[in-house]
């Protein structure tokens, strides 16, 4: 029996993808071997890799002058790769701080570059994004970094930050493919796979080609975008199984009608959950409505002593992974692409019952 898995990441996968992977596990398309046993240089795997890249490009309408890389090291690796590839040590880089993941990117960035935090949502207790136009990016900044969706705080940018000619870099780990986005407005989009794209072990990096080739000489090869681009992301052995599984997920997204269809579904799922929270005096969500994430919905009960019983009773009812992040407590429901609306309906039904028994 499968549960509804609301874990923030690694996260639920589309069942048809898991079933297809199972059916192909020991013999991929008559090759007589599993994808994980293939040489990454074999025509079979090179084909799998190219098909995944083509699907990513088509689903997100990635312009031709962007490279699409499939790298290891997670989104955390890119916290270092971004300054190492874009900024010489004498430059400064602008960052927006909207929560835990922004803060981690800033902390890592400080190792390599003069970080200037242009907006910090401290005053909103990280429950909002900066107002559009409230910060100004200096024209000599190497880049502007922001976190498109804060997976822990449940705060999502409803707009693309304006930075003039300075490239905008976005950590889209927990929102990529959940709704339409205009890649051409960004210099770099990166996303760890284990939220919305597939299993962990892979990070997709979409980078405008004119930003390649400016890395510091001491950039580690595994984080060097230009070198990876030249080698089709196979400078070293890529995470082949994860790459293949991401390809299957992308194919599934296509079958669902693509990113705009996913966006409509995700909006309906988010409306159902936020609507339940807002109509109740028992549950609450602190995030400013305009900045509410469609993917990660943190919520509180009036008495923290009810949190453990909530999570335990939910698990009993087949609703898994609802404990909030260890740094913030409370509850959190991650409702990525692979979570069907039936799962969200089951959650709101459970929440209504729990409120009646404990409210
Ligand atoms: C999960 C997550 C990360 C970290 O990803 P790793 O693959 O564990 O390095 C970074 N940023 C955001 C927004 C995330 O959700």
How far apart CA 199 and CA 38 sit, in angstroms, is 18
For residue 280, how far is its CA from the centre of ligand 1 (angstroms)? 31
How far apart CA 93 and CA 51 sit, in angstroms, is 35
How far apart CA 236 and CA 229 sit, in angstroms, is 12
Q: Indicate if ligand 1 lies below 6 Å from the C-beta of 156.
A: no
Residues 131 and 29 in one domain: yes
At 58 the pLDDT is 98
> From the alpha carbon of 78, which atom of ligand 1 is closest?
9
For residue 352, how far is its CA from the centre of ligand 1 (angstroms)? 31
Residues 273 and 289 in one domain: yes
DSSP string, 181-245: --GGG-SEEEEETTTTTSSSS-EEEEEEGGGTT---TT--GGG-HHHHHHTTT-SS---HHHHHH
How far apart CA 151 and CA 332 sit, in angstroms, is 10
DSSP string, 7-28: -SSS----HHHHHHHHHHSSSG
At 326 the pLDDT is 84
Tell whether 8 is covered by a domain.
no
How far apart CA 354 and CA 218 sit, in angstroms, is 55
Q: Indicate if ligand 1 lies below 6 Å from the C-beta of 10.
A: no
Last residue within a domain, chosen from 231, 255, 279:
255
What region, left, alpha or beta, does residue 201 occupy, with left being phi > 0 and alpha being psi -120 to 50 degrees? Answer: left
Tell whether 3 is covered by a domain.
no
pLDDT, tens digit (0-9, with 9 covering 90-100), for 8-20: 999 999 999 999 9
Q: Indicate if ligand 1 lies below 6 Å from the C-beta of 173.
A: yes
At 184 the pLDDT is 98
Residue 37: CATH number of its domain = 3.40.640.10
Reading the block at residue 46, the tokens are 């090179």
pLDDT, tens digit (0-9, with 9 covering 90-100), for 48-93: 999 999 999 999 999 999 999 999 999 999 999 999 999 998 999 9
Among 28, 128, 195, 243, the one annotated catalytic? 195
Residues 316 and 210 in one domain: no
Last residue within a domain, chosen from 213, 236, 255:
255
- Contact partners, residue 336, CB within 8 Å, separation at least 6: 11, 12, 174, 178, 195, 196, 295
Strands 149-150 and 155-156, how do they pair? Answer: antiparallel
* Probe residue for ligand 1, chosen from 72, 76, 298 as the CB with the greatest number of ligand atoms within 8 Å: 76
Residues 239 and 144 in one domain: yes
Tell whether 9 is covered by a domain.
no
How far apart CA 300 and CA 283 sit, in angstroms, is 6
Domain count across the chain: 2
Helices (H), the chain: 15-24, 43-59, 74-86, 100-109, 225-230, 240-255, 258-279, 307-316, 341-358
For residue 5, the cross-strand partners are: 320
Residues 281 and 219 in one domain: no
CA distances from 207 to 82, 148, 168, 186 (A): 10, 16, 10, 8
**CA-based nearest residue to 12, from 232, 355, 215, 269:** 269
Q: Indicate if ligand 1 lies below 6 Å from the C-beta of 146.
A: no
Domain region containing 310: 257-358
pLDDT at 39 > cutoff 90: yes
Instruction: Please indicate whether residue 243 is annotated as part of the active site.
Output: no
Instruction: Please indicate whether residue 171 is annotated as part of the active site.
Output: yes
Q: Indicate if ligand 1 lies below 6 Å from the C-beta of 276.
A: no
Residues 197 and 320 in one domain: no
Tell whether 75 is covered by a domain.
yes
Tell whether 109 is covered by a domain.
yes
What region, left, alpha or beta, does residue 164 occupy, with left being phi > 0 and alpha being psi -120 to 50 degrees? Answer: left
Reading the block at residue 249, the tokens are 């997920």
Residue 313: CATH number of its domain = 3.90.1150.10
At 190 the pLDDT is 98
If you average pLDDT over residues 320-343, what whole number do you get?
95
Share of the chain above pLDDT 70, in %: 100
Quick one: pLDDT band at residue 257, thresholds 50, 70, 90? Answer: very high
Residues 240 and 163 in one domain: yes
Residues 160 and 281 in one domain: no
Residues 88 and 27 in one domain: yes
pLDDT at 109 > cutoff 90: yes
Q: Is 228 exposed, middle or buried (0-12, 13-18, 19+ CB in 10 A)?
A: buried
Instruction: Please indicate whether residue 195 is annotated as part of the active site.
Output: yes
Among 28, 101, 243, 294, the one annotated catalytic? 101
pLDDT, tens digit (0-9, with 9 covering 90-100), for 264-303: 999 999 999 999 999 999 999 999 999 999 999 999 999 9
Q: Indicate if ligand 1 lies below 6 Å from the C-beta of 324.
A: no
pLDDT at 328 > cutoff 90: no
Residues 317 and 231 in one domain: no
Tell whether 232 is covered by a domain.
yes
* Average pLDDT of the chain to the nearest whole number: 97
Among 128, 171, 224, 229, the one annotated catalytic? 171
- Contact partners, residue 271, CB within 8 Å, separation at least 6: none
For residue 224, how far is its CA from the centre of ligand 1 (angstroms)? 19
Quick one: pLDDT band at residue 33, thresholds 50, 70, 90? Answer: very high
Residues 118 and 66 in one domain: yes
Q: Indicate if ligand 1 lies below 6 Å from the C-beta of 100.
A: no
Last residue within a domain, chosen from 255, 270, 298:
255
CA trace torsion 64, 66, 70, 71 (10° rounding): 170
Residues 220 and 276 in one domain: no
Residues in the chain: 359
């Amino acid at each position: 029996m499968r549960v509804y898995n609301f874990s923030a990441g690694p996260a639920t996968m589309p069942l048809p993808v898991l079933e297809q992977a199972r059916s192909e596990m020991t013999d991929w398309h008559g090759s007589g071997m599993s994808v994980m046993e293939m040489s990454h240089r074999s025509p079979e795997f090179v084909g799998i890799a190219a098909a995944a890249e083509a699907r990513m490009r088509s689903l997100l309408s990635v312009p031709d002058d962007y490279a699409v890389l499939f790298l290891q090291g997670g989104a955390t690796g890119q916290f270092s790769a971004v300054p190492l590839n874009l900024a010489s040590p004498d430059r400064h880089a602008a960052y927006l701080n909207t929560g835990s993941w922004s803060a981690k990117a800033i902390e890592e960035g400080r190792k390599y570059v003069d970080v200037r935090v242009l907006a910090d949502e401290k005053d909103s207790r990280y429950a909002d994004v900066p107002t559009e136009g409230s910060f100004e990016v200096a024209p000599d900044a190497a880049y502007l970094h922001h976190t498109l969706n804060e997976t822990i705080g449940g705060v999502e940018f409803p707009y693309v930050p304006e930075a003039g000619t300075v490239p905008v870099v976005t950590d889209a780990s927990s929102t990529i493919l959940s709704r339409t986005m205009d890649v051409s407005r960004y210099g770099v989009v990166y996303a760890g796979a284990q939220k919305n794209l597939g299993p962990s072990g892979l990070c997709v990096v979409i980078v405008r080609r004119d930003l390649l080739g400016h890395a510091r000489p001491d950039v580690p090869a595994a984080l060097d975008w230009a070198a990876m681009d030249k080698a089709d992301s196979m400078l070293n052995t890529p995470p082949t199984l994860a790459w293949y599984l991401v390809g299957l997920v992308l194919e599934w997204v296509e079958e669902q009608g693509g990113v705009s269809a996913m966006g409509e579904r995700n909006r309906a799922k988010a409306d159902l959950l936020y609507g339940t929270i807002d109509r109740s005096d028992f549950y609450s969500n602190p995030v400013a409505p305009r900045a509410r994430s469609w993917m990660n919905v943190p919520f509180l009960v009036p008495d923290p002593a009810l949190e453990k019983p909530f999570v335990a009773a939910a698990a009993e009812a087949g609703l898994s992974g609802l404990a909030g992040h260890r740094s913030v407590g409370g509850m959190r429901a991650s409702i990525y692409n692979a979570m069907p609306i039936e799962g969200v309906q089951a959650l709101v039904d459970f929440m209504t019952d729990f409120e009646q028994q404990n409210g």
